[in-house]
Structure 1
Amino acid sequence: MCSYCGCRSIDMIGRFTAEHEELINATGLLRRAAAVGATDEVVELVDEVATLLAPHTDAEEAGLFTVLRRDEDFIPYIDSLCREHATLDELLARLRAGKLDLADRFYADLRSHIEREEDGLFPASLTTLRGDDWDEVDALTAAAVPATSAPPPAAL
């Protein structure tokens, strides 16, 4: 995970990076449970991961992605990240439904996605966005995704 450009000093990027770390840790537990066939534990852990993932991806899309989309150079990259968000949600739903063999793929896809954000989009946003832009990212994120907006685990 990126630690060289200073983008973590931006509150929202620091938040997203901390959430990435939480997601990786929770997904590690999920992988281990799936590897030993602990179906009930997998369901609980999928719900935990989903509770972390949904508000995180919603926040990214509502704030940072919205503001960066104003620069047409970012649109294809952001579109691909949004597709990855959807794929991660689909994989979690399939894991919850008993497809335990997808745990390693979910983990690999999540890691790859996070690397693309932390090594690509986040540093680029640091050089592209200015103070007012970051204020807008914060406002859009807060308006669209209140801190308590995590969907109930049964939503999967």
Structure 2
Amino acid sequence: MLGSVCEYCGCQTLAAIDELTREHDTVVNLIGEVRAARAAADTGGMADLARRIAAVLGPHTEVEEKGLFPLLAGEFPDQVAALEAEHDAIEAVLGQAAAGTPTDPAWPDRFVRILDVLRDHILKEQDGVFPAALISLSGADWDAVDAVRARVGSPTASPAGGPARR
């Protein structure tokens, strides 16, 4: 993300934050594709993109909710709860396209609205959560986050298993 705090605070020097940021970048690019599909009235394309976003956010959210957020919840309980609630709302709308193109004529508008929430959510994480984690967490904490990532994998990893590069 251009101009994010992480580019200045050093967050991306940590593999866990670097991978989460790459996933954010992928999602932001997909959001742009959704907007183009919406402008073309391509609901099927939007549903496909919802599934692609969900495929990125599945492991991403797992790393955050099972690795990063529990470590920050003691110090930032309200912020973590709000982020988890946003995850739930985003997943609910994405899930409506899991089995194909939703038939509800209101779904495309609902999808676009939740993508606005997602975009703001990404900024909160990159400009708030990641820098706070950099300051607050210990090496053992980052090992715990890395263990979750090792378990769930990464949709942005290269085929050879190393991190994909932008």
TM-score, normalization: structure 1? 0.83
Runs of 4+ more than 3 Å apart: 93-96
CA distance in 1 between counterparts of 2:153 and 2:25 reads 20
Counterpart in the other structure of 2:54:
50
Report if aligned partners of 1:12, 1:138 keep a CA contact under 8 Å in 2: yes
Counterpart in the other structure of 2:162:
none
1:18 counterpart = 2:26: no
1:64 counterpart = 2:68: yes
How far is 1:128 from its partner?
A: 0.6
Report if aligned partners of 2:33, 2:49 keep a CA contact under 8 Å in 1: yes
Moved more, 47-56 or 101-110: 101-110
The 1:76–1:67 alpha-carbon spacing in structure 2 relative to 1, beyond 3 Å, is: same
Point out where structure 1 has 5 or more consecutive residues left out of the alignment: 149-156
CA distance in 2 between counterparts of 1:80 and 1:32 reads 29
User: Match for 1:80: what amino acid?
Assistant: A
Question: Which residue of 74, 78, 81 maps to 2:80?
Answer: 78
Counterpart in the other structure of 1:128:
136
TM-score, normalization: structure 2? 0.79
How far is 1:39 from its partner?
A: 1.8
Superposed CA RMSD: 1.8
Identity %, equivalent residues: 37
Counterpart in the other structure of 1:89:
91
Report if aligned partners of 1:30, 1:103 keep a CA contact under 8 Å in 2: no
Moved more, 117-126 or 99-108: 99-108
How far is 1:142 from its partner?
A: 2.5
Moved more, 87-96 or 25-34: 87-96
CA distance in 2 between counterparts of 1:147 and 1:100 reads 28
Counterpart in the other structure of 2:164:
none
1:108 counterpart = 2:116: yes
Aligned residues: 145
Report if aligned partners of 1:23, 1:52 keep a CA contact under 8 Å in 2: yes
Q: Hey, which of these two has a bigger chunk of helix by percent?
A: 1
